């Protein structure tokens, strides 16, 4: 039987190890940056329970993330790992860490912008999004749907480059 302190150390160690598991669609973001990793529990028999939450309902990355978590922990000496999916509370872009937002912008994806009004309002102005390439705010929305579920498609009117915007989800 593991002592309580050993269990805590093991859990802290696993959180650290999982910093190296990234989102397969946005490889600069770890699952911690993304706010997808919810819970790590080491049971008395040594079995590890990892709980993750999907960004979008249909996010095809979740299976890959679960497999990557198991592989990473297997390589680090944790052979018995279960990954559980938890829907509630539902993921929101508020859980992206400040570090994660900085990494996104450096990678060329505009990070989510806090909406001015009610995000569920059905009519209203589009959010002003800063171009991640030239920092101009003279940009326009091309489509609310982009290369993956979590992104919208914008274009910069200044440098003319198209870019991805990690859209706000609340």
Which residues of this chain interact with Zn ion, rule CB under 5 A?
131, 133-134, 136, 156, 158-159
Check binding of 35 to other proteins (CB under 8 A): no
Q: Is the dihedral of CA 83, 88, 91, 97 positive or negative?
A: negative
| Smallest distance, other proteins to C-beta of residue 52, A | 9
164 burial (CB, 10 Å; 0-12 / 13-18 / 19+) is: buried
Stretch that binds other proteins, among 18-26, 54-62, 105-113, 132-140 (CB under 8 A): 54-62
- Sequence-ordered list of residues with C-beta below 8 angstroms from that of 122, at least 6 positions apart, any chain: none
| Smallest distance, Zn ion to C-beta of residue 33, A | 24
- Strand 81-85 and strand 48-52: the pairing is parallel
Sole residue written with tokens 């979590």:
150
| Smallest distance, other proteins to C-beta of residue 3, A | 27
For residue 131, the partner it binds in other proteins, Zn ion, none, with Cβ less than 5 to 8 A by kind, is Zn ion
Check binding of 67 to other proteins (CB under 8 A): yes
Check binding of 66 to other proteins (CB under 8 A): yes
Is residue 158 within 8 A of residue 169, CB to CB? The reply is no
* CA–CA separation, 136 and 130 (whole Å): 6
Check binding of 104 to other proteins (CB under 8 A): no
**Residue 28, CA atoms < 13 Å, CB-side half-sphere:** 14
Query: Which residues bind to other proteins, rule: CB under 8 A?
Result: 51, 54, 56-60, 62-63, 66-67, 83-92, 119-120, 122-123, 142-147, 149, 153, 167, 169-170
């Amino acid at each position: 039987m593991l002592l309580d302190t050993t269990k805590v150390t093991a859990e802290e160690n696993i959180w650290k190890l999982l910093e190296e598991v990234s989102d397969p669609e946005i490889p600069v973001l770890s699952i911690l940056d993304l706010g997808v990793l919810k819970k790590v529990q080491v049971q008395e028999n040594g079995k590890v329970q990892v709980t993750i939450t999907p960004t979008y309902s249909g996010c095809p990355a979740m299976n890959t993330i679960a497999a990557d978590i198991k592989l990473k922990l297997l390589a680090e000496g944790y052979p018995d790992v279960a990954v559980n999916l938890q829907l509630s509370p539902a993921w929101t872009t508020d859980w992206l860490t400040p570090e994660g937002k900085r990494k996104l912008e450096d990678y060329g994806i505009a990070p989510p912008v806090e909406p001015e009004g009610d995000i569920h309002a059905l009519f209203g102005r589009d959010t002003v999004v800063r171009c991640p390439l030239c920092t101009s705010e003279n940009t326009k929305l091309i489509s609310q749907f982009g290369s993956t579920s979590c992104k919208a498609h914008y274009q910069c009117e200044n440098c003319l480059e198209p870019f991805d915007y990690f859209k706000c989800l609340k």
